[in-house]
Amino acid sequence: MTLTSVFNRLAMAVLTLLGVGLVVFVLLRVVPGDPVAMMISPSATPADIAALRAHYGLDLPLAEQFFLWLRDLLHLDFGTSISLRRGVLQLIGERLPATLELTFAALVFGILAGGIVAVAGVLLRRTPLEAVMDFVNGLFLAVPDFVWALALVLLVGVLWPIFPLSGRLDPALSTDFYTPFYLLESLARFNWTDVGDVLAHLVMPTLALGLPLAAVIARTLKEALGEAMVQDYVLLARLKGMSETRLVLQEALRNAVGPTLTLTGVQFTFMIGGTVIVERIFAYPGIGNMAIDAVINRDLPLIQGIVLVFGALFIVINIAVDLIADRLNPRQLHG
Amino acid sequence: MADVAVSAPVTVVNRRFRSLRPLLREPRVVWAGGFLIALALVAIFAPWIAPKDPLEQDLMMASLPPIGFEGYEPGYYLGTDDLGRDVLSRIIFGARIALTVSLVAASLAGLIGSLLGLASGWYRGWTDRIVSRLVDIWMSFPPVLLSVLLVAVMGAGLHSVIIAIAIIDWTRFSRVVRAETLAQSSLDYVTAAEAIGFSRRHILWREILPNVAPVIIALLSLEMGIAVIVEAILSFVGLSISSDAPTWGGMVAQGRQVLHESWWVLVFPLVTLFATVLAFNLLGNGLRNALDPVMRR
């Protein structure tokens, strides 16, 4: 990817984000419910309400509100949450790390599990086990994260209570964290009790988000590996006496990774979208969970901020995937 | 001339008949389609099939376990919830809501998305640029968050759920239909139609659409599966229709709360939900396989 095309992508990204902001802004302003009505006491006079509306700028014309919001955004001022009465940026800053740690864990799990299943599937080609694995993989492809989350709740809640089902950290562990990155921080401080506890809390939501991703990766990578295994260079390596496992891992994998990567990127954005409901089910304190509360409370500034953050994440991932795919594509090296 | 007039309807009938056969040869279509037809029949005849009234509360009969477990009460095959409502009857009536939402919402999303996809793939230029930009913007929203947002804006209820799904998921259709239209429009039959002098619009509706239709049908089935899940998610969050009404998502949400006392309130609706989504998925993939002329060759 040349510098110009990267620049073009970034310009497009800004345009898309602007569109996202506009859509959510207009959508929220046609809401019949008054967000201010929720935060005042029943004894408030109409004058009080008007004053409060003016305070949040809700009395201005729509276009003016939008441009004021944009102007503030440029100064990194995301406004103040109406329901939590704190800065939106600050709230997102506290919650986003939890979501990032969760999605990263799910991504790593999905790639590892999907990769192992794909390699095993290729090694077991033309055995009865292959059909079984393909069948199970097909089932897994059909199960969305929402159903996984609840199935896991059932499994761990009723049958086999080994992992915590809600939250991010046992309240009994009264560690004071300096950053909102609990996992990274406890790792950096070699506090193994905390690391274990944070990881235990991560297991359930990670599985719910990561299993659908693993299923997609397993299917795509296995197909790509199967195609690579009949290419001439693999045949040559086989004639040289390379073992089947090394053939798959050293020769085929390198050439099969490209198409899988692009799809993983798309699936990764779906997965980030999935955090909204999965965090809800496991009462995990990330921005997805906060987003649903914000919508229920009609907290306009907070919703706008969260949606923008999600949009930015999606766009950044897409650009990153394109860049990595370009780097991996041997045909582009000399272009 | 007389020969042509007589033989034309015959070929049409033949072609229709033939187009059904690859469908029935595809086991996924037969099994998943059979399951869904059975489910639809259960939904239609729910009042006659359900053993109990799905709304009737009976605290004397609260939290009864399903058949085969200690404390089972005859007639309550899958047990009762904490308000004494029959789980089986609620699942049966819940099928009505789930199937209505999925059918209407998926059709709406399919209609919007296919029209925009056809238009941007066929007319290209400005139409294509605007639609593609819209798709980009849409794809930058987390769908669950957008659906929750839309339903909150429109007010909870069945209509809102349906409209929200249609507004969010049209992109699934438009992207695929656009790509398919682009691919079709470079084929020889389109060039031939242009050479004969058919109008652009005529070619789009009479030549291209019939060739894109199989893809749309397969996508519709997949989308219905997605709609069932979205409805369940919205019920779960408490934004679908009233919590009294029997929805699978609402039952699942309730089951999550009473998990440790009565697991069956969560298990059975969840299994139903899963089976339905799986069936829509298998049907969609089977249809795509059976209807795709390239795959058939």
Q: Render pLDDT for A232-279 as a digit per residue (tens, 0 to 9).
A: 888 888 888 888 888 888 778 877 787 788 788 888 888 888 888 999
pLDDT tens for the 297 residues of chain B, in order: 344 444 444 444 445 445 667 777 788 888 999 999 999 998 898 888 877 777 777 777 777 777 777 777 777 777 777 777 888 888 999 899 899 999 999 999 999 999 999 999 998 889 899 998 888 888 887 788 888 888 877 777 888 889 989 988 999 899 889 999 998 888 888 888 888 888 888 888 888 898 888 889 889 999 999 999 988 888 888 776 666 778 888 888 888 888 877 888 888 999 999 999 999 988 988 888 777 655 443
CATH classification at residue B33: 1.10.3720.10
Relative orientation angle of helices A128-142 and A88-123, to the nearest 10 degrees:
160
DSSP B113-164: HHHHHHHHHHH-HHHHHHHHHHHHHHHTS-HHHHHHHHHHHH-SSHHHHHHH
pLDDT of A3 over the 50 cut: yes
Backbone φ and ψ for A168, nearest 5 degrees, come out as -120, -25
| Residue A158 to residue A139: CA distance in whole angstroms | 23
| A80 touches A301 (CB < 8 A) | yes
Residue B19 lies in a domain: no
Q: Half-sphere exposure of B110 toward its Cβ, with a 13 Å CA cutoff?
A: 21
Residue B11 lies in a domain: no
Let me know how long chain B is.
297
User: Quick check: B229 and A144 CB within 8 A?
Assistant: yes
Name every chain B residue with its beta carbon within 8 A of the beta carbon of A160.
Answer: none
* Domain ranges within chain A, ordered by starting residue: 14-74, 96-333
Residues ≥6 apart with Cβ < 8 Å to B245:
B55, B97
pLDDT averaged over every residue in chain A: 82
Greatest mean pLDDT among A36-50, A66-80, A171-185:
A66-80
Residue ranges making up the domain that contains B165: 27-296
| Residue B78 to residue B86: CA distance in whole angstroms | 7
User: Quick check: A306 and B133 CB within 8 A?
Assistant: no
Q: Chain A interface, mutation test: which of B69, B138, B145, B285, most A Cβ atoms within 10 Å?
A: B145
Instruction: Average the pLDDT over A283-296 and give the result.
Output: 88
| Residue A277 to residue A292: CA distance in whole angstroms | 8
User: Quick check: B145 and A151 CB within 8 A?
Assistant: no
- Read off the tokens for A279: 């965090």
Residue B154 lies in a domain: yes
Instruction: Average the pLDDT over A162-176 and give the result.
Output: 75
Q: How many helices (H) and strands (E) does chain A have?
A: 13, 0
Q: What distance in Å separates residue B81's CA from the closest CA in chain A?
A: 16
Residue B1 lies in a domain: no
State the residue for tokens 């229920």. Answer: A296
| Residue A285 to residue B137: CA distance in whole angstroms | 27
B281 close contact with A: CB closer than 8 A: yes
| Residue A306 to residue A291: CA distance in whole angstroms | 7
User: Quick check: A20 and B152 CB within 8 A?
Assistant: no
Q: What distance in Å separates residue B206's CA from the closest CA in chain A?
A: 34
How sure is the predictor about A36, in pLDDT bands with cuts at 50, 70 and 90? low
Q: Thinking of the domain A96-333, which architecture would CATH place it in?
A: Orthogonal Bundle (1.10)
Residue B131 lies in a domain: yes
User: How many domains does the structure of chain B reveal?
Assistant: 1
pLDDT at B7: 41
Q: How do the residues of chain A divide into helix, strand and coil, expressed in percent and rounded to 5?
A: 75, 0, 25
A309 close contact with B: CB closer than 8 A: no
- Read off the tokens for A59: 């009395």
| Residue B182 to residue B175: CA distance in whole angstroms | 11
Partner residue facing A31 (CB), from B153, B237, B260:
B153
CA A91 from centroid of its chain's CA atoms: 18
Backbone φ and ψ for A10, nearest 5 degrees, come out as -65, -40
Stated pTM of the model: 0.83
Sign of the four-CA dihedral B184, B187, B192, B195: positive
